[in-house]
Amino acid sequence: MSHHRRAFRWLTLVLFLAVLLGITFSSPVATSPVEVIVQAQSSEAAAQLVAAYGGTVLRPLSIIDSVAARVTADTVTRLRRDPAVRAVWPNRKVQVTSQPDRRARRTLPEGHYASAAAGVNEIHEQGITGRGVTVALVDTGMPFTPKLKRGRGGRPAGAPQDGSLFYKDRRTGRFVLYKDFIDPNAKKSQDPFGHGTHVLGIIADSTPAEEEDGGTVYAGVAPGVNLVVARALGADGSGTYADVIAAIDWIVSIRDVYGIDVLNLSLYAPVEVPYWVDPLGQAVMRAWQAGLVVVVAAGNDGPTPASVGVPGNVPYVITVGAYKEARFTDSGADELADFSARGPTESRFVKPDVLAPGWKITGPMPMKSALAQRFLGNDDDGDDDDGEGHDDDDDDDVPVVRWGREKIGYFQLSGTSMAAAQVSGLVALMLEQNPDLTNDEVKARLQDTAALAVDETGNRAIYTIWEQGAGKVQAWDAVFADVERRSANNGLDINADLDVTASGTHYEGYTEYDQDAGLFYISDAPPLPENYFVWDGSTWVWAGDTWVWAGGKWVWAGDTWVWAGGTWVWAGSTWVWAGGTWVWAGDTWVWAGTGKWAWSGSTWVWAGGPLESVTVTVGILP
């Protein structure tokens, strides 16, 4: 082999690693400030290290033994060389997983409200509304609510003085807790973007809504729940890892005081490293370890394979994809939404876990919010300009109510954000009816009662396991069905997985890839339904076929072949992947032979073996 060819191959490898890890080859000014997350033995130790190198600590991230910090570019290199530093990550961006559709009409058709789309109205009629269950969400905020105060009145004993705002309705006993991580000095709740209000409305809106049959229903899935709202995404719908992790840290720290049961994360970032290495992935794992039922949006980068984002790629959590209701499809049947992200994950796990409605879901947003203004197409400031009870701007077809002092309009959004919010509300109903369920048992029950899309014989799947997971959730069965009680995530040890020292153990799923055939598959999987355990990565197209969503059981939920795969092993000073792997090249999968990636504590290093030249693309939500 010539020296030129060898040099070219090494250059190709270096460029591949640079793209994979998000490294740029520009020459940064040594003194240029950058925001990073520094992990050490503890958050306090990380803070001391940052200070020792002349950096500024922005906030502690105790949940992952880290701090967010501002340092110079050359300091990043020095920190990574310090043996007391476990990892240094860039403070990456996170964003919401929704997209505007159109305004809701003043008279809404049946099924556009979240409660009808999720099929929970009959559950409400049984008196199950989520009362006594507390759902937390990390998002863009909530509308201005004057009754939210900093005082201790009504708060449970032991509640910390942490700058949060609180209100408890003495008549119903419901409470709302709000904390702003974007504007820590804020004295009022706010949602300048609108997404958070839409998500919390899907979960908990108790506003009465009229249906076509003349009946009155609640707009939200779990109108009786308590709410904990952490604002960690800004006015443009995006935020940083540090703010989101800090919000999760806060929610976990007050879980016992406020009785928090469920955490909704309708947000997304592209995958760059395995789930257990990613700092946001670690924080979400800590939340699950603490007992929270964590419900996460899969992301909107479908139908591409391996498009599930962070933290939906974390194997423990409930990752939710989205489907279109039959009223919106040409086939006249419920269909998987094209935008709904697909698996497998970077560590070969099956995702999403379940599907929920995520197309044109009606929910509330402040009329002044950025998302609402996109719908209205004007500069409506939400004011009563003519003094006659309505705005001068053209918003007459938007149902408008007042929440406190703020005008709220009802708009339709699509996305896995909406689907995840419905599952979070459904989990609240499940926990009111079955309060002793653990988070692993909740996940298993959702899967066991889900319905797969299959042909009329039930022998052929319409979508593969990496597209529909266990299928679409069945609300009534999830709450009331008499199913065997079991735990999901068998074969995984979250305590060992969270250990980033040499004694830790990390996992991969059972997805395999046949490069010659161009197929994903799972070895030793059941033979039926056909097409369920094999996928060529192409998108299903309706060709006049008919199919059903067959529910009642999830017969492949034993987890032994899904979760307990290969592990990461400690090889001296690095983590080494035990076994071959494949990498996504933007439009195809490339097998990386028998070589291995090694984690050096701050970067991934190729540890030998053949590797094809690839270009890695990173998806960003619209």
pLDDT on residue 609: 36
Q: What is the DSSP string of 474-519?
A: -HHHHHH-------SSTT--HHHHT--STT--EE--SEEEETTTTE
pLDDT tier at 397, thresholds 50, 70, 90: low
pLDDT on residue 211: 64
Tally of CA atoms within 13 A in the half-sphere of 458 that contains its CB: 7
Whether this prediction's pTM lies above 0.95 is answered by no
| Residue-averaged pLDDT of the chain | 81
Percent of the chain with pLDDT over 70: 77
Structure-block tokens of residue 265: 């994360």
Dmax over Cα atoms in the chain, in whole Å?
83
Give the residues across from 285 on adjacent strands.
none
- Greater confidence, 476 or 403? 476
Judged against a pLDDT cut of 50, whether residue 4 lies above it is answered with no
pLDDT on residue 561: 34
Give the contacts of 229 (CB within 8 A, at least 6 positions apart): 136, 137, 139, 141, 142, 176, 177, 178, 179, 189, 196, 200
pLDDT on residue 589: 40
Strands 574-577 and 567-571: antiparallel
**272 closest CA partner among 610, 602, 622, 607:** 602
Q: What is the mean pLDDT of residues 218-238?
A: 95
Judged against a pLDDT cut of 90, whether residue 188 lies above it is answered with yes
DSSP 538: P
Helices 241-253/279-289 angle, 10° precision: 10
pLDDT on residue 578: 41
Q: Do 273 and 428 touch, CB atoms closer than 8 A?
A: no
- Greater confidence, 559 or 259? 259
Judged against a pLDDT cut of 80, whether residue 325 lies above it is answered with yes
The backbone torsions φ and ψ at residue 489, rounded to the nearest 5 degrees and listed phi first, read: 65, 25
Judged against a pLDDT cut of 90, whether residue 477 lies above it is answered with yes
Q: What is the mean pLDDT of residues 95-113?
A: 55
Question: Integer distance in angstroms from the first to the last C-alpha of the chain?
Answer: 45
pLDDT tier at 81, thresholds 50, 70, 90: very high
Judged against a pLDDT cut of 80, whether residue 579 lies above it is answered with no
Judged against a pLDDT cut of 70, whether residue 502 lies above it is answered with yes
Judged against a pLDDT cut of 50, whether residue 410 lies above it is answered with yes
Q: What is the mean pLDDT of residues 481-494?
A: 92
What's the residue count for the chain? 622
Judged against a pLDDT cut of 70, whether residue 622 lies above it is answered with no
**C-alpha–C-alpha distance, residues 416 and 354, integer Å:** 11
pLDDT on residue 392: 30
Tens of pLDDT, residue by residue over 241-294, are 999 999 999 999 999 999 999 999 999 999 988 999 999 999 999 999 999 999
Of 233-242, 445-454, 514-523, 612-621, the range with the lowest mean pLDDT is: 612-621
Of 7-21, 41-55, 302-316, 429-443, the range with the lowest mean pLDDT is: 7-21
**C-alpha–C-alpha distance, residues 185 and 203, integer Å:** 27
Give the contacts of 9 (CB within 8 A, at least 6 positions apart): 613
Of 31-40, 120-129, 371-380, 607-616, the range with the lowest mean pLDDT is: 607-616
pLDDT on residue 311: 97
Q: Cβ atoms within 10 A of the Cβ of 137, count? A: 30
pLDDT tier at 97, thresholds 50, 70, 90: low
pLDDT tier at 84, thresholds 50, 70, 90: very high
Judged against a pLDDT cut of 90, whether residue 181 lies above it is answered with yes
**261 closest CA partner among 425, 418, 421, 114:** 425
Structure-block tokens of residue 233: 């995404």
pLDDT on residue 517: 85
Judged against a pLDDT cut of 90, whether residue 2 lies above it is answered with no
pLDDT tier at 101, thresholds 50, 70, 90: low
pLDDT on residue 560: 35
Give the residues across from 403 on adjacent strands.
406
Tens of pLDDT, residue by residue over 583-595, are 444 444 443 433 3
pLDDT on residue 447: 94
Q: Do 336 and 463 touch, CB atoms closer than 8 A?
A: yes
pLDDT on residue 266: 97
Q: How far out from the chain centre does Cα 458 lie?
A: 31
**C-alpha–C-alpha distance, residues 289 and 281, integer Å:** 12
Tens of pLDDT, residue by residue over 327-342, are 889 999 999 999 999 9
Structure-block tokens of residue 326: 């039959």
pLDDT tier at 31, thresholds 50, 70, 90: low
pLDDT tier at 548, thresholds 50, 70, 90: confident
Of 328-332, 380-384, 596-600, the range with the lowest mean pLDDT is: 380-384
Whether the CA torsion 438, 439, 440, 443 is positive or negative: it is: positive
Could you give the C-alpha distances from 584 to 20, 97, 488, in angstroms and in order?
10, 22, 28
Q: What is the mean pLDDT of residues 528-544?
A: 85
Q: What is the mean pLDDT of residues 538-545?
A: 79
Could you give the C-alpha distances from 178 to 232, 239, 241, 312, 587, in angstroms and in order?
11, 17, 19, 24, 43
pLDDT on residue 117: 87
pLDDT on residue 527: 84
Of 14-18, 156-160, 579-583, the range with the lowest mean pLDDT is: 14-18
Structure-block tokens of residue 405: 């002092």
Percent of the chain with pLDDT over 90: 57
